Amino acid sequence: MKIGLPKALLYYRYGVLWETFFRELGFDVEVSANTSKEMLDMGTKTTLDENCLPLKIFMGHVQSLIGKCDRILVPRFSRVSKAEEYCVRFWGLPDIVQNTFSDAPMISYNLDLGWRGNEAAAFIKMGRALGKEKSVSFQAYCAGCRAQQQQDQELLRVQSMQMRTSGKKILIASQPYLIHDAYMGTQLQKMIVKQGVIPLFSDRCNRRLCRALSKEISSGLYWSLNKEMIGAIELCKNQVDGVILLTAFPCGSDALVNELVLRRVRDVPMIQILLDEHTAPAGLETRIESFTDILTKRRPYA
């Protein structure tokens, strides 16, 4: 049996865990190709125009996997703890996919508020749906967690090394699925590198520390991913020269959080870049260039 993983949304956070889990269970795994213009067009056609860009990309990925795989993984993420949850968009993912593509062979796991080790239980349940025993699924889940942790720590180490090097550095503060998306964020990364500036990523900082630090900027924030994002700004603001707030049209949580960040964080140069389906690379490049120019010409605080 072949399991398809859409390379969008939280794949950039849990991808290794998912891949290892299914491989350990003895399934083939197919990850969808990098986001391209065609994929985005496919997604735009199947979703409503009002939906956010990451969802459109996600739907494009799902559609590209239909017919190629026996099952497609569409997880649901809702509450992490009492005071923390994911954006409402993640709550409805399985239902959106099911109602849009009625022929999609979907498999899902649900992460909802409950007891500790909730995630493991969800994975075991998913394993049972695939006909695997509890102990086998649990072992696969543990292996997946280890692999994911290893990769996260490796990326963290690389980033902290980059942080210590001399030279101009810019922190890209955004959701992981925007920063690392081949069609959206990677393009931006290349432009930054072209200007001779090192890009750092908000999702490659110490997550626990970030979540705790986010309280310095906003006390009432409850979106997990946004918490980590603004925590990273607080964590890195003395070590970087500038911050790019990358957001997609019309991202619900970013609309509010970025507004607050722009109003409250005053001690580091900051720019907000809004991406949509029609973003032209030339326009983006001009903005990046002028921002890096400002950073180089800017006199340090006396």
Partner 1 sequence: MLKISYPHLGDYHIPIRRLLQDLFPMAEIMPAPPFTQKTVELGARHSPDFVCAPFKYNMGNYIESLEAGANVLLQTGLGCRYGYYGEVQEQILRDLGYDFTFLCFSREKASPQNIYKACKKINPDLTFSVFSRVVLQTLLRLYCMDQLEYFLRERIGFAKSPNHFTSAKSSFLKEFLDTCSTPEIWGIYKKYKKYYHSIETHMPSDPLRVGIIGELYTLMEPYSNHFLEKQLAKGGIVVSRKMSASFLLFGKRDTRSLRCSKGYLQYTVGANGVDSVAGSRQYVKTGYDGLIHMKSFGCTPELNAQPALEQISRDYNIPILHLSFDTQTSETGLETRLEAFMDMIEMKRKQRNEKIRQPGSRHRFHLHKRRIY
Min dist. Cβ of residue 252 to partner 1 (A): 5
Min dist. Cβ of residue 18 to partner 1 (A): 19
Alpha-carbon Rg for the chain, nearest whole angstrom, is 20
Nearer to partner 1, 166 or 219 (CB): 219
Which secondary-structure segment (H or E) carries 108?
none
Nearer to partner 1, 138 or 249 (CB): 249
Determine the 3-state secondary structure of 212 from DSSP: helix
Contact 91/113 with Cβ under 8 angstroms? no
Whole-number Cα distances in Å, 35 to 54, 177, 185: 11, 11, 11
Nearer to partner 1, 120 or 256 (CB): 256
Min dist. Cβ of residue 208 to partner 1 (A): 21
What's the burial of 49, exposed, middle or buried (CB within 10 Å: 0-12/13-18/19+)? exposed
Beta bridge partners of 77: 111
Would the CA dihedral through 104, 106, 110, 111 be positive or negative? negative
Min dist. Cβ of residue 89 to partner 1 (A): 5
Nearer to partner 1, 53 or 240 (CB): 53
Nearer to partner 1, 91 or 138 (CB): 91
Min dist. Cβ of residue 173 to partner 1 (A): 16
Q: At what angle do helices 134-164 and 11-24 cross, to 10 degrees?
A: 140
Nearer to partner 1, 16 or 221 (CB): 221
User: From CA 230, how far away is CA 226, in angstroms rounded?
Assistant: 6
Min dist. Cβ of residue 134 to partner 1 (A): 23
Nearer to partner 1, 146 or 264 (CB): 264
Number of CB atoms found within 10 A of residue 232's CB: 28
- Contacting positions for partner 1 (CB under 8 A): 48, 50-52, 76, 78, 82-83, 87-89, 91-92, 94-96, 98-100, 102, 110, 218-223, 249-253, 255-260, 263-264
Contact 172/179 with Cβ under 8 angstroms? yes
Determine the 3-state secondary structure of 255 from DSSP: helix
Determine the 3-state secondary structure of 183 from DSSP: coil
Q: Which of 191, 176, 177, 183 is nearest to 41 (CA)?
A: 183
Residues 6+ apart with CB under 8 A from 128: 134, 137
Min dist. Cβ of residue 218 to partner 1 (A): 6
Nearer to partner 1, 2 or 125 (CB): 125
